[in-house]
Amino acid sequence: MAHVPESVELFVCESCQVTHAGTPIHVEAGQHTFEAPDACGSCGEADFVELSDWVHYHD
């Protein structure tokens, strides 16, 4: 069986819309979850939306 690489979850800053790669959190052998960063590297805000939810996001 071929190895299938995990896809990194992306997060969009609600304030400036810069996209960040999630931080991988090891949950079990070969499995990870991803968390948004503590703060946006561009504007410093701390509110993020998962990229997959961005099209459904409303203020």
Cβ atoms of residues 43 and 19 within 8 Å: no
Q: How confident is the model at residue 59 (pLDDT cuts 50, 70, 90)?
A: low
Q: How confident is the model at residue 2 (pLDDT cuts 50, 70, 90)?
A: low
Both ends of the chain: CA-CA distance in Å?
44
Residue 18: inside a domain = no
Q: How many domains does the chain have?
A: 1
Residue 31's domain comprises 1-13+23-59
C-alpha of 59 from chain center = 19
Report the pLDDT value the prediction gives residue 3, as an integer from 0 to 100.
Answer: 61
Q: How far apart are CA 53 and CA 57, in angstroms?
A: 6
Report the pLDDT value the prediction gives residue 45, as an integer from 0 to 100.
Answer: 97
- Predicted TM-score (pTM) of this structure: 0.81
Kindly give, in sequence order, each residue whose CB lies less than 8 Å from that of residue 58, ignoring residues fewer than 6 positions away: none
